[in-house]
Structure formats: C-alpha cells, structure tokens
Amino acid sequence: KQEVTQIPAALSVPEGENLVLNCSFTDSAIYNLQWFRQDPGKGLTSLLLIQSSQREQTSGRLNASLDKSSGRSTLYIAASQPGDSATYLCAAPWGKAAGNKLTFGGGTRVLVKP
Amino acid sequence: ETGVTQSPTHLIKTRGQQVTLRCSSQSGHNTVSWYQQALGQGPQFIFQYYREEENGRGNFPPRFSGLQFPNYSSELNVNALELDDSALYLCASSLGGQLEAFFGQGTRLTVV
C-alpha cells in the first residue's frame, strides 16, 4: 500500500526566496508522481507530472525531481511571489496497474510574505 | 476543450438525508475518480469509474455509491448522511487512468 507524506505541514518564506517542498512515498515501484496546487476552498490544479522514467520535470519557475530509490520527490519554486501562497499536494498512484487512483500527502501550506 | 465541472458548488444537508453530487469529465476523458477531502487533510480516494464500470474503491462504506454515464459524466451518491461526511468532494478525470488527472473545483458538503 502506497503511503505519501509531506513535511513540513506549513512553511512561511519572504518574497523572492526559493521554495523547497518535500514529498516522501513508501512504494518505490511508483508509476508516476503528480504535484498539485490548492487555493483555500478550491479544487486542485495540476502543476507537474513526473513519469517513473524521468528524474525531473520543469515548468516555468517550477521544477520537480523524482528519486525512486530514496522514495522522495521535491518541488522547487524559484523566486517565490505572494501569489504562490497556497497548499501544495503531491500524489502517487497505488501502483502501475492502479491507473491514477491517487494517494495524497497531507499537503504543505505555503505563505509567501511580501 | 472544457475542463472538469462539478455541481452543485455548495450543499447543506441534514444528518440521515441522501445527497447526489455530479461531475462532467473533461472532453475525451473516459475515467472519473471521486475523492473526499476533510478540512486540513489531503484528499482520500473513494472510487473510480472507467467506461461505466467501477474500477477500484477506497476504504469507504457501501452507502457511498456511484455511477458513470455513456457520456462519461458521473454521480456520487451518499445515503444516510453522517456529520463526518462534511467535506470537499472532488472529481478528477483522465484518459484511461494512465495519464495526468485533472480535477474539478469540488462540491462543499456540510451535514448538520
């Protein structure tokens, strides 16, 4: 059974600082890993999807890495802005045959102070 | 290409009642998954539908049931509502379950 953990649960940084968000998973036979952003009371916005064959994925100021052997993924957000304040969630499928029945971490709530 | 849409956005029900939530999947997507997100927690997988058949279920009781229609839209039904059912219910669609999942804005259910 895949378990996903995100530490810390909350993070506060000054504007302009780089953000580093951590995600740990227990089953290294991971098919892919997806990062999401969630604004308060809203749905999830997909940020990046990393396939198991990839080591990282980039989109603009966002970069996500995947290390299956250590069971870790990291989301980097460069030059943070107040608009980056949100909860960030990572999720992994139960297994390759499970499609994208996702197991989520508890999320990291980020506050970027102007 | 339209995104995933859910209705209603907010709902208040009384304990013991029944509720139906609706989801229209993104155009071309044949897989719909439902999640429950309690306040301050990550979403929990309820079940998934693929081509109108249930394709996996999380640790939720039978009073949580679902349906997928030929146009791939879906419903989540909850019977005998309990106070702990109060949560944000999220629907996600994907193509064949192998690729990126796209989520709707959710339905906020409050049980009083």
E-only strand ranges, chain B: 5-7, 10-13, 19-24, 31-37, 44-50, 53-57, 64-68, 74-78, 87-94, 102-103, 107-111
Which pLDDT score, from 0 to 100, does residue A99 have? 62
Nearest CA in chain A to B105: A43
Contact B90 A44 (CB under 8 A): yes
Q: Look at residue B5 in the predicted model and tell me its pLDDT.
A: 95
Are the CB atoms for B25 and B73 separated by under 8 Å?
yes
φ, ψ for residue A65 (rounded to 5)?
-115, 155
For residue A41, the model assigns a pLDDT of 87
Average of pLDDT values for B30-58? 93
Residue A106 pLDDT exceeds 90: yes
Most confidently predicted of A44-58, B24-38, B78-92: B78-92
**Confidence at residue A98, expressed as pLDDT on a 0 to 100 scale:** 53
CA angle B59, B63, B67 (to 5 degrees): 90
* pLDDT digits 0-9 by tens, A79-98: 999 999 999 999 998 765 55
Residues 6+ apart with CB under 8 A from B108: A41, B9, B10, B11, B88, B89
- Cβ-defined contact of A36 to B108 (cutoff 8 Å): no
- Tell me the pLDDT band of B103, cut-offs 50, 70 and 90: very high
What pLDDT is recorded for position B62? 96
Of B72 and B17, more confident:
B17
Q: What are A53-73's pLDDT values in tens digits? A: 899 999 999 999 999 999 999
Q: How do residues A23-59 score in pLDDT, each as one tens digit?
A: 999 988 888 899 999 999 899 999 999 988 899 999 9
Of chain B, the percentage scoring pLDDT greater than 90 comes to: 77
Indicate yes or no: CB of B43 within 8 angstroms of CB of A104. yes
pLDDT at A28: 84
A20 touches A11 (CB < 8 A):
no
Query: B107: distance to nearest CA of chain A, Å?
Result: 9
Among B100, B107, B109, the residue to mutate for chain A (most A Cβ within 10 A)? B100
Q: How far apart are CA B34 and CA B30, in angstroms?
A: 14
